[in-house]
Amino acid sequence: MSGSTDITARGRSTAALIGGVAITNTSMVGASTVATLIGADRLSAAWSGVPNAAGVVGTAAGTLGLAALMSRRGTRLALTAGYAVALLGAAVAGYAVVAGAMVPFLLGMVLLGVGNGGAQLSRYCAAELYPPHRRGFVVGLVVWIGTVGAIIGPNLMQPSSAGAAAAGLPALTGPFLVAMVAAAGALAASAALPRLRIVARSRPAGRVPGTVWRQPAVVTALSAMVAGQVAMVTLMTMTPLYMHDHHHGLGAVGLVLTFHLVGMFGLAPLSGQLADRFGGLVASLTGVGVLVVSVLLASLGPAPGLARLNVALFLLGLGWNLTFVGGSSQLTGALDPAYRTRVQGGVDAVVWTASAVASVAAGAVLAAGGFAVLAVATGVVAVLPVPLLLRALRRSPEPSAGLVERPSAARR
């Protein structure tokens, strides 16, 4: 394969990967938001996080299972399978809303989460196509494309709900109809992935050695990503319910979520450049600082017009972005390519499993102590990895430390 053909195929692959991510993020915004409302209505406020937890469990299972499939059969097959499962999940969840059946609804959320797991792995797939010094930026670029979901997703909730109601369906069916269309689009995008030459991922016998999991880059990336994810999920998933309880409509909820999701995705390329320039540890520590400012603002409650809550949720998204991109950039360069895919999938599975626990716990904390207590608890979680990150930064100040590259002509 010629160099120009490689570059063309790389561009096509990147476009297909970020297309699937953009479409999936758009659909997951509406589905996750109404899932919290459905949980509060069908279960209770204390258990309102259960449907979102089901989706997060699906994401954890998806990242783990699809990473294993990816290492054996390639990116195209793994992502196509993940988005096909998401299409089925959207259909099952939509049916469950119509039927008023909670168990099928939770199953549908799990299946939707599997497709989201594929979208999460796409950032690693795209980064692997580029030289090491550009991988942080590429991770940030793939995360940034979620801005499409941040802008479009919240604003589809009201019209899709109105459209469903006009068709004689329950209003909250609308976002799941959108998710069905989105999953079909992501499936088409992944099926269009070309084959091309990338860094090799050999297939060693047996499981990943414990020494690989204990590498400093893996431990610090995991701790930062878990803390950032749990902090973000804890506060974000309960904000729609908090606003709903204070008589704010879906339009106001959508606006706050737009601010939050722009924070999550809009500045991701800058987070990637920060990770490339100063290292993933610096990016992660910066993210923790932003998360602390966010939860302090959120704990004060909404100012008139929800202005303070908009700023707090924007910063919550930005802090998550920095920890997520910073940790991900470490995992794209500091691992032996023979184990990289499975470690990345394993780390993401742990991150999303912790997120599922946070989704359930957040509802209980909100019901018991209120939104301010929930915000303070979020801040405590955010700062937990700081001592570990600072110690690792003192030991390895160079952003390129520990990089391992083994170019090869293997095909995906």
Q: Binning pLDDT at 50, 70 and 90, where does residue 114 land? A: very high
> Which pLDDT band holds residue 20 (cuts at 50, 70, 90)?
confident
Nearest to 279 by CA among 271, 268, 269: 271
- Please name the residue that has the structure tokens 């995008």: 189
Residues β-bridged to residue 197: 411
**So what's the pLDDT on residue 329?**
82
**Looking at residue 333, what is its pLDDT?**
67
H-helix segments, 45-146: 50-73, 75-99, 102-127, 135-144
Alpha-carbon distance of 265 to 286, in angstroms, equals: 16
Please determine, for residue 85, whether its predicted confidence score (pLDDT) is greater than 90. yes
Asked if the model's pLDDT at residue 120 lies above 60, the reply is yes
- CA dist 129 and 196 (Å) reads 9
pLDDT exceeds 70 at position 184: yes
Mean pLDDT of 63-69: 85
| pLDDT score recorded for residue 204 | 47
As given in the structure block, the two tokens for residue 302 are 């909404």
Q: What percent of the chain has pLDDT over 70?
A: 84
What's the mean pLDDT in 192-198?
60
For residue 290, is pLDDT > 90? yes
pTM: 0.70
Tokens read off for 121: 């792995």
| pLDDT mean over 284-301 | 88
Q: Is the pLDDT of residue 199 over 80?
A: no
The span from the CA of 275 to the CA of 273, in Å, is 5
Say if residues 79 and 63 touch (Cβ distance below 8 Å).
no
Higher per-residue confidence, 231 vs 25: 231
- Can you tell me the mean pLDDT for 125-131? 80
CB atoms within 10 A of CB 220: 24
Rounded to an integer, the average pLDDT of 348-358 is: 83
Write the pLDDT tens digit of every residue in 381-403. Answer: 899 999 989 888 887 654 543 33
Quick one: DSSP state of residue 411?
B
The secondary element (H helix, E strand) that includes residue 360 is helix 337-369
Q: Is the pLDDT reported for residue 205 higher than 90?
A: no
- Nearest by Cα to 78 from 66, 65, 88: 66
- Say if residue 289's pLDDT is above 90: yes
pLDDT at 110 over 90: yes
Q: Please report the pLDDT score of residue 95 as a whole number.
A: 92
The percentage of the chain sitting over the pLDDT mark of 90, rounded to a whole number, equals 15
Q: Is the pLDDT reported for residue 119 higher than 60?
A: yes
pLDDT at 109: 92
Per-residue pLDDT tens for 254-270? 777 778 878 887 788 88
Three-class secondary structure of residue 83 per DSSP: helix
* For residues 399-412, average pLDDT: 39
| Separation CA 24–CA 190 (nearest Å) | 12
Burial tier of 3 (Cβ tally within 10 Å: 0-12, 13-18, 19+): exposed
Segment 143-156 shows an average pLDDT of: 74
Mean pLDDT of 176-202: 74
| Mean pLDDT computed over every residue of the chain | 80
Q: What is the pLDDT of residue 328?
A: 86
Confidence at residue 196, expressed as pLDDT on a 0 to 100 scale: 47
Residue bearing the bigger pLDDT, 371 or 326: 326
Amino acid at 2: S
